[in-house]
């Protein structure tokens, strides 16, 4: 009798793992790396679960289309905010410049040598400037390729293996020999399939989450319990790899800022809580993101930083603006609901409830800013 998982599905015994790549492995691989959407996924994108009919001002300058078509995203936004007459919508794909309507944007990984830490910047510009940004696009392509090498570092760590990293992950998670073997066999299969088909794999699929998605797709074969254990171990391996990933090959923050300024782009620092020394770096930026769904414990403090910064400027100097970002990852919304990371899947483009929070509004009044002010002033700067 075959073993069953918690959902009473017959599952394969890990002791009977097949190390050679099977036809089923091939099928799962192509499903996992595919960026095509089926009809149900497309319907899910254009049909939001919530509508905001009373919101007239829409600020959306920090969100990630991933592989979801922009026309579907625009349909979703129109359905969510049917009465938004004052909107500023700019996509910020990781290390890929993208355009919607009159504006182009990107979230860039870069390295601040002054405090030895990777940081991120949001670059926004008019679409005509984006169309002329050939050198920036080349810099972004290099950055994206280097960033994707982290995935292959993870695969190497598990398959070769890197004993020090594996032992550290085992110590942290308590993974047993069966779990480690399961991870190694199927990570090796993924690596071999990537080697065979790399030119056919969509570049947007070459991210750390590919390993997560690959193992999630194995649940019908091996059961939820085995996959959950594997994912716990793999997550710890990822954290170790990320912590040891060299930053020196990223472009320096000042290099990205100089290139952006040369194009007439505007710059915002997103989620500074994740790299707080940037607040002391005095970079030439237009604004600071004080809230997003994953960074919201220091909102009032960050507003006070903006107020203090602006108070030091002479009259007539352009003030630093306050931003809020939803940091929506649209690819999360097309995953099977049972596999979605709820904290990410629940984010929505343009939904930043802190603008309407009473305590936050009190501090925004002191800063002399609200959402409409930021939209209007930033739009003016983008076209200047």
Residues in the chain: 384
Domain assignment of residue 175, yes or no: yes
CB 186 within 8 A of CB 218: yes
Cα-trace Rg, the chain: 23
DSSP string, 55-71: --EEEE-SEE-TTS-HH
Residue 25 sits in the same domain as residue 50: no
Please check whether residue 381 is in contact with residue 374, taking contact to mean a CB–CB distance below 8 angstroms.
no
Q: For the segment 291-343, what is each residue's pLDDT rounded down to a tens digit?
A: 999 888 899 999 999 999 999 988 888 999 999 999 999 999 999 888 888 88
For residue range 137-157, what is the model confidence (pLDDT) as tens digits? 999 999 999 999 999 999 999
Cα distances (angstroms) measured from residue 34 to each of 47, 149, 181, 190, 261: 22, 19, 27, 14, 36
Whether the upstream peptide bond of residue 161 has omega within 30° of 0, thus cis, is yes
Average pLDDT for the chain: 94
Position 317 scores a pLDDT of 87
Same-domain check for residues 185 and 53? no
Same domain, 272 and 214: no
Burial group, residue 384, by CB count within 10 angstroms (0-12, 13-18, 19+): exposed
Closest CA to 49 of 349, 356, 335, 352: 349
**Same-domain check for residues 46 and 60:** yes
Residue 128, pLDDT score: 98
316 φ/ψ sector (left φ>0, alpha ψ -120 to 50, else beta)? left
**Same domain assignment for residues 162 and 20:** yes
Same-domain pairing of 116 and 155 = no
Tell me whether residue 121 is in a domain.
Answer: yes
Q: Which regions of 41-172 does DSSP assign to beta strands (E)?
A: 57-60, 63-64, 86-89, 98-100, 103-112, 117-126
Q: Are residues 20 and 55 part of one domain?
A: no
Q: What are the phi and psi torsion angles at 39 (to 5°)?
A: -60, -40
Measure the CA–CA gap between 208 and 381, rounded to whole angstroms. Answer: 36
* CA–CA distance, 150 with 121 (Å, rounded to integer): 20
Residue 187, domain member (yes or no): yes
pLDDT of residue 291: 96
In a domain, 84, yes or no: yes
Q: Is residue 255 part of a domain?
A: no
The confidence band for 12, taking pLDDT boundaries of 50, 70 and 90, is low
Based on the structure, what is the number of domains in the chain? Answer: 2
- Are 275 and 377 within one domain? yes
Evaluate whether residue 341 is within a structural domain.
Answer: yes
Q: How far apart are CA 157 and CA 238, in angstroms?
A: 9
Helix residue ranges per DSSP H, 202-290 = 209-216, 219-222, 224-244, 253-263
Q: What is the mean pLDDT of residues 239-267?
A: 97
140 located within any domain = no
pLDDT tens for each residue of 350-369:
999 999 999 999 999 999 99
Decide which of 244, 275, 299 is a domain's last residue.
244
Q: Six-digit token pair at 131?
A: 């169309």
The answer to the question of residue 260 being in a domain is no
Which domain covers residue 201, as residue numbers? 14-33+147-244
């Amino acid at each position: 009798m075959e073993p069953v998982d918690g959902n009473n599905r017959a599952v394969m015994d890990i002791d009977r793992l097949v190390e050679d790549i099977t036809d089923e492995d091939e099928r799962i691989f192509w499903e996992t790396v595919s960026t095509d959407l089926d009809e149900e996924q497309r319907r899910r994108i254009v049909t939001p679960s919530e509508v905001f009919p009373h919101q007239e001002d829409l600020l959306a300058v920090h969100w990630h289309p991933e592989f979801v078509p922009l026309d579907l995203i625009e349909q979703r936004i129109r359905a969510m905010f049917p009465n938004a007459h004052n909107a500023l919508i700019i996509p910020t794909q990781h290390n890929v410049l993208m355009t919607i309507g009159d504006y182009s944007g990107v979230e860039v990984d870069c390295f601040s040598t002054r405090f030895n830490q990777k940081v991120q910047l949001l670059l926004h510009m008019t679409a005509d400037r984006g169309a002329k940004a050939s050198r920036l696009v080349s810099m972004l392509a290099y950055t994206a390729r280097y960033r994707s090498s982290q995935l292959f570092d993870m695969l190497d760590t598990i398959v070769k293996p890197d004993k020090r990293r594996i032992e550290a992950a085992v110590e942290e998670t308590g993974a047993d020999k069966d779990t480690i073997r399961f991870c190694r066999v199927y990570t090796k299969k993924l690596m071999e399939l990537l080697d065979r088909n790399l030119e056919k794999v969509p570049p947007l699929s070459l991210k750390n989450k590919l390993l997560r998605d690959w193992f999630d797709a194995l649940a019908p074969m091996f059961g939820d319990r085995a996959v959950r254990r594997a994912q716990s171990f793999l997550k710890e391996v990822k954290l170790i790899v990320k912590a040891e990933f060299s930053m020196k090959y990223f472009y320096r923050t000042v290099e990205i800022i100089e290139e952006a300024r040369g194009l007439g782009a505007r710059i915002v620092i997103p989620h500074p809580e994740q790299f707080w020394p940037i607040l002391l770096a005095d970079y030439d930026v237009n604004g600071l993101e004080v809230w997003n769904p994953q960074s919201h414990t220091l909102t009032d403090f960050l507003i006070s930083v903006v107020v203090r910064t602006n108070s030091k400027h002479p009259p007539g100097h352009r003030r630093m603006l306050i931003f809020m970002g939803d940091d929506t990852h649209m690819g999360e919304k097309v995953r099977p609901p049972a596999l979605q990371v709820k904290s990410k899947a629940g984010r929505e483009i343009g939904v930043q409830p802190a603008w309407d929070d009473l305590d936050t509004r009190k501090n925004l009044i002191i800063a002399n800013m609200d959402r409409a002010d930021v939209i209007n002033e930033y739009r003016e700067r983008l076209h200047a």
